[in-house]
Structure formats: C-alpha cells, structure tokens
C-alpha cells in the first residue's frame, strides 16, 4: 500500500461520530483559542440588552450562513464535517464553533454594550461643549478631529459617534457664528 493510500479513509473506515467529534473538539483546543457554540453566542447576544433568544438565534444563524457562503463577517468559524455523509453534513447550529475573540469583536461593533466597559459614557451635549472649548483653545484643529478624539467617550459605537458628534459640533459652530438678526417691534 502506498503512502497515498494510507492517508485515504473510506466511509466504511471512518471513526464513529462521537469519537470523530471528540477528536475535532480536541483539535480546536490545540489552536489555543476558545471556540463558542451557537448557544454560547446566543447567550452573549441576549446579555447585550433587550433581545429575545429567537432574535439572537436568527442573528447567529445569519452570521454563520454568511461566513460559510464566503461573505466577509470578521468571525472565523470551524465546522465539524460528519464522516458518514448524511444529509446533515452541512454547517448548522450543532456542528459549528466560532472564535470567541472574533465573536466578541463582532458583538462590540454591531451591538455595543456601554455598561460593561467600565468607562463612563457621556451625553452628546457634554462632549460637544468640551469639543467647542477644545477647538477654541486650539486643542482640536476642527470639528472632525474633536469628534474623533471624543467619540470613545460617547454612547454607541465609535464610527457612529464620530459622525454624530461631528455633525452636531459643526451645527453648533455655525449657530455661534451666525449673527443674530434684530427683530423689529
């Protein structure tokens, strides 16, 4: 028997599913990363706020389907391929695992949770006032630079906060510059 034949395992020679799955899980452990099941990801999502388990299930199913359709999601998935070639031999809730680090990063981008960061979050008005003082004193060159610097302390995800704060800062600057027209009595 050649070495190529030694590496080939026929469907009849395959390890029983429980042993094969145990070997697959051991291989995941050897990556040095933590891998999450569907249920664990759903639990993380529902802990983020007002989301039902059903809604979280749907989100995780969509994320997994996109990942296995080679669409960029930013989350690495591992799939346990059944060796008996049953009709269930496709990624599903019971045979896939996602990288915990990737899932947490994805969750922070898509569903920011401001309460667990330990950092105080400020309302936009407080940050706008700080931005205007900083622009006036020369700390920030313009509204966009001020928004970039202050967005990590704002509510919501960073990109949205930069856009929102930038618009509000520019509007406030414009209203400060426009002369007040006297009203006639």
Structure tokens at 128: 């706008």
Give the dihedral of Cα atoms 169, 171, 176, 177; nearest 10 deg.
Answer: 110
Return the top range by mean pLDDT from 51-60, 92-101, 143-152, 164-173.
Answer: 164-173
Contact 131, 146 (CB under 8 A): yes
15 Cβ neighbours under 8 A, 6+ residues apart: 23, 83
Give the pLDDT confidence of 149-160 residue by residue, as tens digits: 888 788 878 888
Residue 185: the pLDDT is: 57
126: CB partners within 8 A, 6+ apart = none
- Mean pLDDT for 101-119 is 68
Going by pLDDT thresholds of 50, 70 and 90, the confidence category of residue 68 is confident
Model pLDDT for residues 128-154, shown as the tens digit of each residue? 998 998 898 888 889 998 898 888 788
Per the CB < 8 A criterion, the answer to whether 97 and 82 are in contact is no
Alpha helices in the chain (DSSP H): 3-7, 17-30, 38-47, 53-68, 100-110, 124-137, 143-150, 158-177
> Going by DSSP bridges, is the β-strand pair 35-36/96-99 parallel, antiparallel, or unpaired?
antiparallel
- Per-residue pLDDT, 82: 58
């Amino acid at each position: 028997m050649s070495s190529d034949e030694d590496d080939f395992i026929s469907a009849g020679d395959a390890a029983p599913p429980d042993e094969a799955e145990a070997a697959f899980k051991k291989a995941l452990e050897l990556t040095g990363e933590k891998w999450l099941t569907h249920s664990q990801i759903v639990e993380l999502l529902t802990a983020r706020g007002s989301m039902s388990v059903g809604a979280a299930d749907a989100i995780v199913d969509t994320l997994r389907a996109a990942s296995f359709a080679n669409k960029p999601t930013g989350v690495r998935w591992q799939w346990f391929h059944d060796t008996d070639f049953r009709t269930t031999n496709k990624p599903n809730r019971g045979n896939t695992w996602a990288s915990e680090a990737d899932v947490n990063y994805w969750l922070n981008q898509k569903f920011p949770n401001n309460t667990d960061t330990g950092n105080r979050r400020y309302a936009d008005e407080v940050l706008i006032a700080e931005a205007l003082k900083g622009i006036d004193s020369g700390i920030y060159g313009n509204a966009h630079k001020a928004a970039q610097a202050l967005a990590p302390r704002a509510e919501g995800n960073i990109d949205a906060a930069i856009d929102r704060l930038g618009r509000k800062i520019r509007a406030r600057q414009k209203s400060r510059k426009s002369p007040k027209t006297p009203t006639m009595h």
